[in-house]
Structure 1
Amino acid sequence: MGFFTGRVTFLRFHVNGPNQRMFGEEHIERLKGFEAGRSRIASADGIEVGWTAGDHILDTDFTLEKNIINDTLHFEMRVDTEKLPADLFRAYYAVELKALSSKNPSGMPSAKQKREARETARERLEQEAKDGRYRKRKCVPVLWDAKSNEVLFGATSLTHVDRVVSLFQQTFGYALDAMSAGRRAYQLAELHQTTRTVDDSSPSAFVPGVTPEDVAWIADESSRDFLGNEFLLWLWYNSEGESDTVKVADESEVTYMIARTLTLECPRGQTGHETITHEGPSRLPEAKRAIQSGKLPRKVGLTLVRHDDQYELTLHAETLAVGSAKLPNPPEDVTSPRARLDDRATQLRDLIETLDLLYNKFSEQRFGKQWQDTLPRMQRWLSREERRAA
């Protein structure tokens, strides 16, 4: 079951509806009403989606015991894609065309014969496809947490986001809002009644004269998701220029390290992007040169420690998506299978809370008076001798 074994990957969504006191039979029945292979909810591109119960791609046996764990509702979205093999289509077309044009005096097929051969080949493939031989099935885990009223979708790619949002609303009647970097900043601003500050924000000039006013990968002018790129750069700066331990709002401390991978991209969309894989990628000279030339981080590998629990993950900037997160093992005294599942749900919540506390700390500085001091320090950090030498 996706979120309860191995590493976890997810995008976060806020449920636009009342908090669920608890999940029960009603939710199970709603999932059954849109189970994969039954409802045939297909988009214009012929892709069908539906829910599965999580054990395997054909599992539609939804039960309270299996799908409700520690105030979470766990299930999967199955994506069925019908893809006719192009090489077989070409083969059928060649066979049909040869048969149709065999008696032509010129030996060359006519335009009409080409059309007929193409239609016959496609009809033959579509007839074969009715038994499902060309259908590809893929499941993506989904977890709805009653405590936070958030949905986790087990992917970092946005490929199937529209499908899960639409299917979730049809099933449960609630819309989903993506918890991107900009959306999270607005949430925090609403708590402190400072939304105007977020509205008026624009990309920070970390490298004066080089950093552009717009970010190439954010097409929507109203989006503030560039704050995710600034968040990752702020983490990088703190780990080198200040401290790799941050005291957060609940008085706990988060110690972190940029590790394993680092992806940087030119915000102008001109000098491309680069991915650096190394035990400590941010310490390499090429990484320093990249950010000194104005590039921004779009994805980093992180190791986090809070309350003596260690997490390893990849964090995406604009979406705040989490990739391949390794959660702590359950305590040795947690031995029963059910207790281990409950502990896993708690560890997942703790990871999300840790990331939120770090982002909250950044937001407090970014939209507070401290930024007037922090931004110049980051600019000086980026203008050290390495940049002049480059």
Structure 2
Amino acid sequence: MGFFSGRVTFTRFKLTGKAPQLFDETQLELLANNAAGRQRLVSADGIETGWTAGAHILDTNFELAKNIINDMLFFSLRIDQQKLPSDLLRAYYSVDLQALSANNPSGKPSARQKREARESARERLEHEAKDGRFIRRKAIEIVWDRKSHEIYFGTTSVTQLDRLIVLFRNTFGLTFDSLTSGKIAFNLAELHQQTRNVDDAAPSNFVPGTTPKEYAWILDESSRDFLGNEFLLWLWFRADTDRETLKLSDDTEAVIMLARTLTLECPRGQTGHETITSEGPTKLPEARRAVQSGKMPRAAGITIVRREEQYEYKLIAETLGISGLKLPNTGEDDERAQLDARADQIRSVIETNDLLFEAFIKLRASSDWQKELRAMQKWLHLEAKKENPADQE
């Protein structure tokens, strides 16, 4: 159970409709009725989906003690895909074709024999596949947090999202929306009556004459997901100018550091992307040069200390998804207490992340942003001067 042991990766989604008063046998029964291998949902491409109970990829035994932890419902989406091995298909075809054309006077197979060999080879392989020997199974963990009424989907990829949406709706009668950085920004702006400023926001001109006005990876003109990219650059700026301690709206403080990894990409989609791996990637000259050339951060390794607890993870800019989250030891001896404490830790990380983003959005949507933007422009300009001493002559 990755959410409750080891490193954690997930993307958040907000459920529509009313949250249940509590999780109980009702939800477990619904999961069991749609369990993998029992009542499977088969898509047009032949891929089958169903739920598992999370202990392992074949586990369909849903239990209160195992699947309900601290007001969280834990389960997994299993995806079964039939993958006929192409090398074996070619081998069967070759063998069958040789047998069919063995008596040909020309020594060469006819078009009809080639067609028959292809058909017989596929039929043979599909017959063998009936016992499931060629099925590839993959499970993605899911947490439904009743307190926040959110889904934590255990991946930062959206490849399997459509399958999750369909199966979840068929199981629980509920749908959900993605919580991207733009949508979270709108939600947070409502708290400070700043929604108009977020709605009117356009990409900031961090490097005048160089920073693009549009981001190639954001296709929806109404999206404000570029605020996630600006958020990462702002955190970089704060940490690099010795202002890594942030006062949050709940009167706590968070110390932020960017470490281990940094991914940058050209918003124009012209010069590609680069990933820098280092203990301090933002300190390296190539990282600063990338931003000076117009690239923006799309993901960054973050270390945060808040309430005397330290969290490490990679933050994805547009979705605010979390990857490789390392949680501190809970300090609990009892196994159940450890699980409950870990659930609280996950909530604490999400709360901290949201509070940090709130601090940025509150500033970004205020009249003070222009002053901050000028400081960031100067910061980038000075770094360019340091790297190009000849420009100072």
Q: Report the TM-score range of the alignment, normalised by the length of the smaller protein.
A: over 0.9
Distance 2:258 2:269 in 1: 24
Distance 1:356 1:327 in 2: 17
Distance 2:360 2:347 in 1: 20
Q: What's 1:36 paired with? A: 36
Report if the CA contact (8 A) 2:169-2:175 is conserved: yes
Q: Which residue identity lines up with residue 338 of structure 1 in the other structure? A: R
> How far apart are 1:242 and its partner, in Å?
4.9
Distance 2:387 2:151 in 1: 43
Q: What's 2:205 paired with? A: 205
SS in 2 for 1:17: coil
Distance 1:307 1:192 in 2: 25
Aligned mate of 2:350, from 346, 349, 352 = 352
Could you give the per-residue CA deviations for residues 201-258 of structure 1, whole angstroms, max 9, x where no partner exists?
A: 2211111111111111112222211111111001001111250110010010010111
SS in 1 for 2:93: helix
Distance 1:51 1:301 in 2: 32
Q: Which residue identity lines up with residue 337 of structure 1 in the other structure? A: E
Q: What's 2:13 paired with? A: 13
The TM-score normalised by the length of structure 1 is 0.97
Could you give the per-residue CA deviations for residues 66-100 of structure 1, whole angstroms, max 9, x where no partner exists?
A: 11111111111111111010111111111111122
2:316 corresponds to 1:316: yes
CA-atom RMSD in angstroms: 1.3
Q: What's 1:378 paired with? A: 376
Could you give the per-residue CA deviations for residues 295-325 of structure 1, whole angstroms, max 9, x where no partner exists?
A: 1011100111000000010111111110010
SS in 2 for 1:328: coil
Report if the CA contact (8 A) 1:73-1:143 is conserved: yes
Report if the CA contact (8 A) 1:292-1:387 is conserved: no
Report if the CA contact (8 A) 1:289-1:386 is conserved: no
The aligned runs of 1:90-169 (5 Å cut-off) are 90-169=90-169
Could you give the per-residue CA deviations for residues 112-164 of structure 1, whole angstroms, max 9, x where no partner exists?
A: 22221111111111111110000011111100111111110111111111111
The aligned runs of 1:233-272 (5 Å cut-off) are 233-272=233-272
SS in 2 for 1:378: helix
Distance 2:107 2:320 in 1: 62
Distance 2:198 2:113 in 1: 63
The aligned runs of 1:215-234 (5 Å cut-off) are 215-234=215-234
Q: What's 1:364 paired with? A: 362
Distance 2:375 2:262 in 1: 22
Q: Which runs of 5+ in 2 are unaligned?
A: none
> How far apart are 1:193 and its partner, in Å?
4.1
> How far apart are 1:2 and its partner, in Å?
2.2
Q: What's 2:59 paired with? A: 59
Q: What's 1:196 paired with? A: 196
> How far apart are 1:358 and its partner, in Å?
0.3
Could you give the per-residue CA deviations for residues 159-195 of structure 1, whole angstroms, max 9, x where no partner exists?
A: 1111112211111111111111111112123334433
Q: What's 2:75 paired with? A: 75
Moved more, 40-49 or 357-366: 40-49
Distance 1:184 1:237 in 2: 22
Moved more, 258-267 or 163-172: 163-172
Report if the CA contact (8 A) 2:13-2:150 is conserved: yes
Q: Which residue identity lines up with residue 184 of structure 1 in the other structure? A: I
Give the % identical residues. 59
Moved more, 54-63 or 379-388: 379-388
Distance 1:185 1:319 in 2: 11
Could you give the per-residue CA deviations for residues 31-86 of structure 1, whole angstroms, max 9, x where no partner exists?
A: 11110111120111111111111111111111111111111111111111110101
Distance 1:115 1:387 in 2: 66
Q: What's 2:336 paired with? A: 338
Distance 1:51 1:85 in 2: 26
Report if the CA contact (8 A) 2:285-2:387 is conserved: no
SS in 2 for 1:383: helix
Distance 2:366 2:166 in 1: 37
Distance 1:97 1:39 in 2: 40
Distance 2:13 2:388 in 1: 43
SS in 2 for 1:236: helix
> How far apart are 1:383 and its partner, in Å?
1.1
Report if the CA contact (8 A) 2:330-2:341 is conserved: yes
The TM-score normalised by the length of structure 2 is 0.96
Distance 1:339 1:34 in 2: 30
Distance 1:17 1:388 in 2: 57
